[in-house]
Amino acid sequence: MTMPTPQCPWRMQVHHIRQETPDVWTISLVCHDYYPYRAGQYALVSIRNSAQTLRAYTLSSTPGVSEYITLTVRRIEEGAGSQWLTREVKRGDYVWLSDAQGEFTCDNETNDKLLLLAAGCGVTPIMSMRRWLAKYRPQADVQVIFNVRSPEDVIFANEWRDYPITLVAENNATAGFAVGRLSRELLTQVPDLAARTVMTCGPAAYMEWVEKEVKALGVTRFFKEQFFTPVAEAATSGLKFSKLSAMKTFYAPVGSTLLEALESNKVPVNVACRAGVCGCCKTQVVSGEYSVSSTMTLTEQEIADGYVLACSCHPQGDLVLA
């Protein structure tokens, strides 16, 4: 089987698939080579083994602990990646992954007091790190608070019984669940909160609230991961963009990346890592001034022809796009 793209050189075979909640599945993969990764990292997945469609998913397994490499995926309506992985992929199929990526990990954290906060599917890197801490830092004092919509939405429900955890359910809370959402009251009940390293993952609004609250309560070591970049509303002034192929003109605030400008104006663009690594958002600039923070995956000829990675392109003025 031919590698679909150099960005995804790791071929893995599906060993089994387990349903976690009504809309979340864990795909367990066998890699016949040693696959290096750190707890909490993510990988790009070649969707339908295509070079054109890559999606980023957390590696929910834990190096040195888990038997398989696992991806835990929420099925999203109209989601090209999640629909394929949770509906069509079956035992024995092959999928292709990139090298592990990302810095949201705990293996370089020296503080023995940690608070891990998760909401929804943001629990995937949190569980990866919780297992790692239990094995390699058993002396660590680790507190976990996990917010879900309802008790049936607890991902890794059986496994959480092995670890101290506070579960919070917005709806239909039953015994063992706090009612509502993560609150300042719950945070103040965490022993030695200000002395802890706090790591969080979940929707953007949730993480923004967490960051504000824990810092107000004295936390100085704070780290967050982000699955989805919120899309700003379209602007009516500022930098001007002209896309020749779509006969479209649009605007974005000064300081926006090209990717932010495209997404806020609903201009189609492929995107996965948002970090200048995967190459999905390659876009050609015909004219205009800009700077770039990454050219990974671009050839010298592509750079000469005006191609940029939209997530790493910082317009210095109006741009004309192919």
Task: Report the domain count for the chain.
Answer: 3
**Which domain-ending residue is among 194, 225, 256?**
225
pLDDT band at 141 (very low <50, low <70, confident <90, very high): very high
Q: Are residues 121 and 146 part of one domain?
A: yes
Contact (CB, 8 A) for 261 and 315: yes
User: Rounded mean pLDDT of 286-302?
Assistant: 92
pLDDT band at 128 (very low <50, low <70, confident <90, very high): very high
* 94 or 1, higher pLDDT: 94
* 78 or 302, higher pLDDT: 302
Domain that holds residue 294: 239-321
pLDDT tens, position by position, 51-103:
777 888 999 999 999 999 999 999 988 888 999 999 999 999 999 999 998 88
Contact (CB, 8 A) for 148 and 170: yes
**CATH number of 162's domain:** 3.40.50.80
Q: Are residues 211 and 147 part of one domain?
A: yes
pLDDT band at 231 (very low <50, low <70, confident <90, very high): low
Asked whether residue 226 carries a pLDDT value surpassing 70, the answer given is no
pTM, to two decimals: 0.78
Contact (CB, 8 A) for 281 and 270: yes
Q: Can you give the pLDDT at residue 309? A: 94
**Which domain-ending residue is among 32, 67, 97?**
97
Q: Can you give the pLDDT at residue 2? A: 85
Q: Are residues 244 and 313 part of one domain?
A: yes
Please list the helix, strand and coil fractions of the chain in percent, rounded to the nearest 5, in that order: 25, 30, 45
Q: Are residues 243 and 220 part of one domain?
A: no
Q: Are residues 121 and 173 part of one domain?
A: yes
Q: What are residue 104's phi and psi, to 5 degrees?
A: -85, 85
pLDDT tens, position by position, 254-272:
989 999 999 889 888 877 6
Judge whether 106 lies within some domain.
no
**CATH number of 83's domain:** 2.40.30.10
* Proportion of the chain above pLDDT 70, given as a percent: 97
The H or E element that residue 200 is part of is strand 197-201
**Which domain-ending residue is among 202, 225, 248?**
225
For the CA atoms of the chain, what is the radius of gyration? 21
* Range 102-132 burial, b when 16+ CB lie within 10 A, else e: bebbbeebeeebbbbbbbbbbbbbbbbbbbb
**CATH number of 283's domain:** 3.10.20.30
Token readout for 131 is 């297992």
The H or E element that residue 263 is part of is helix 258-264
Q: Are residues 262 and 179 part of one domain?
A: no
User: Rounded mean pLDDT of 167-177?
Assistant: 95
First to last CA, the chain: 34
pLDDT tens, position by position, 7-27:
899 999 999 999 999 999 999
Taking the alpha carbons of 37, 38, 39, 43 in that order, is the dihedral positive or negative?
Answer: negative
